A = this chain, B = another copy of it.
Amino acid sequence: MCVKWLPLMDAPLDISAPWVQKSAPARKLRDDSVAQVQPALSGLPDVLPQNSQRLLREVLTAREFELTENYTANELLAKLQSRELSSEELTRAFLRRAALAHAATNCLTELQWDDAIERAKYLDSLPEPIGPLHGLPISTKEHQGTKGRNKTTNASYVAYDAGCVFFARTTQPQAIMHLETVSNIYGRTTNPYNNTLTPGGSSGGESALIGIRGSLLGLGGDIGGSIRVPAAHCGIYGLKPSDQRLPLSGAAGHMFGKETILATNGPMSTDRDSLSLFMKVVLDAQPWRLEPALKVAPWIPYRFTRPLKIAVQWTDCVVQPHPPMIRALREVSEACKASGHTIVEWNCGKLNHQKGWELLESLFYPDGGKYVRDLMKQAGEPILPLTKWIMEQVHVKDLTMHELWKACSEREAYRMMYAKAWSATADEDGQEVDVILCPPNFGAATPHKQSKYWGYSSIWNLLDYPGVVFPVTTVDPAKDPKDAMYKPRNAEDEFVYHLYDPATFKDAPVGLQVIGRRHCDEKVMAALELIENAMGRK
């Protein structure tokens, strides 16, 4: 056996168990692939520091560090197009940084060493760039697949045709339905800023990798927060577009044909512009011509011609956000106000996010979780605690056909109620709220095994509203003391309240979320630009 112990799991592997045997080749592939890194990683301490960012200068060469640390994807693409930089040199630098990220956080399922270098050399050999992503290394969450690797999503095909170099595949949790990243096959992935915390999930391999700049641009997926929560937890950007905007077909996964709540792919990156770049490249290829479930809609950048009207959601009235999240909201909304934008409150009291979550429970698993349980039983694989937790929510139920119709009707009624509330924001001054600024999660990256409230991210999946997450600050014990006076509203709120202690969240990034109305993906990105401008960023 190639692995005797999976990182950070509760129990050692029972090597005699059939599922361990069955999954051994996957671990071997992963370990062998990471071992290919040249030159081998050296300078790693025996005991890893809590904050992995400290390892970079010890292990990488100065040139590798410079190439992977100092530029945005767009800047690198310009250098690649002008041939100032070869794709091979850049790819080798990111391969080594990704290997280091993996050593620190256990974020990879495969380092595509040979293929990536071969692809980079091929691209370098061409007389002209073949597309807008020419030569850029891109990472993908495992279930997305990449050219030549098991199944391949249409989104990956398009990025490939645009000239990218797939170089790393990243971890995802069991059944792809945790806001953490842990599986019986690969163990647990940790946060690159603090290894006692989760990088989030389900796209937590991506967020850990991109959070340490082991990749600048990756492809994740989101059905309840799986792009936005890991992006927030690792201090990066992540976009969940509206459903049926980006191609999905070809993804490995489960419950195909379940349409009660749809998953969507989306980009994750170290910078904002790369998100729009990815959307534009994929939608320029008119993916709806092959995948007819997609909306026929090219990516058309939006420009605001007046200040924003931003609604700030301070709480969802179910679970109170932790102090650093409230501070982030305050800092950003004050900066926006100072720049001339209008700030109003998004009052969730009447909008019943609790009801929204109850609907989601039943829409996530309209078969009561039977399909997933059967799959695990068949494989003989133990069900992990967070898998069990989500499938055992009160409203998860094996629905009859007519109960299913009722649930879908209730979902539509909820969406209609929310749409009316949003439209009503124009009643007073004639200007409708442009975006909602809100927490992507109750707090910064959660300690392992504790990610048990999804409401701040998943409500926007229920509504199919596009959302983008951006980094704002980090937890600061001096500024973010615990509110000793707070009285929790309910059991979940109490659980979340007791999780908070500034020391626990040392160095943890804090991100916020910008939400737009359905199909207003471009508007969300335009609003984020203005918000970041107000924060003094480019």
Please report A residues at the B interface, Cβ cutoff 8 Å.
249, 255-259, 288-293, 295-297, 366-367, 370-371, 398-399, 401-402, 404-410, 412, 415-416, 418-420, 422-423, 463-464, 517-520
Contact = CB atoms under 8 A, between A and B. Distances in A.
A291 B419 contact: yes
A525 to B, nearest CB: 16
A401 B292 contact: no
Given A255-B405, A257-B409, A289-B422, 18 more contacts: A249-B412, A256-B409, A257-B406, A258-B408, A288-B419, A288-B519, A290-B420, A292-B415, A292-B416, A292-B419, A292-B463, A292-B464, A295-B295, A295-B519, A296-B517, A297-B297, A370-B401, A401-B404
A258 B405 contact: yes
7 contacts: A249-B412, A257-B404, A257-B410, A288-B518, A289-B422, A290-B419, A296-B517
Contacts of A256: 405, 409
A275 to B, nearest CB: 20
A296 B282 CA distance: 20
A289 B367 contact: no
Given A367-B401, A371-B402, A259 B292 contact: no
Taken together, the copies of this chain in the complex come to: 2
A295 B371 CA distance: 31
Contact of A257 (B289, B398, B408, B420): B408
Given A292-B463, A295-B519, A412-B293, A257 B419 contact: no
A233 to B, nearest CB: 29
Contacts of A367: 401-402
B257 A292 contact: no
Contacts of A518: 288, 292, 296
Contacts of A405: 255-258, 371
A-B pairs with the 6 shortest C-beta distances? A257-B405, A257-B409, A257-B408, A296-B519, A367-B401, A292-B419
Given A292-B419, A519-B296, A257 B407 contact: yes
A423 B290 contact: yes
A537 to B, nearest CB: 29
Contacts of A293: 412, 415
A523 to B, nearest CB: 10
Contacts of A258: 405, 408
B291 A416 contact: yes
A366 B291 contact: no
A402 B256 CA distance: 9
Contact of A416 (B290, B295, B415): B290
Contacts of A402: 367, 370-371
Nearest to A406: B257
Contacts of A422: 289
B249 A416 contact: yes
Contacts of A398: 401
Contacts of A420: 290
Contacts of A289: 419, 422-423
Contacts of A463: 292
A249 B412 CA distance: 10
A464 B422 CA distance: 29
A251 to B, nearest CB: 13
Residue from A257, A258, A297, A420 with most neighbouring chain B CB atoms (10 Å): A257
A450 to B, nearest CB: 31
A463 to B, nearest CB: 7
A212 to B, nearest CB: 37
Nearest to A296: B519
A418 B292 contact: yes
A532 to B, nearest CB: 25
A98 to B, nearest CB: 34
Contacts of A255: 405
Nearest to A408: B257
A463 B293 CA distance: 10
A281 to B, nearest CB: 19
Contact of A259 (B259, B371, B410): B259
A149 B527 CA distance: 43
Contacts of A517: 292, 296
B419 A366 contact: no
A531 to B, nearest CB: 22
A366 B419 CA distance: 29
A398 B400 CA distance: 10
A371 B402 CA distance: 8
Nearest to A398: B401
A183 B295 CA distance: 38
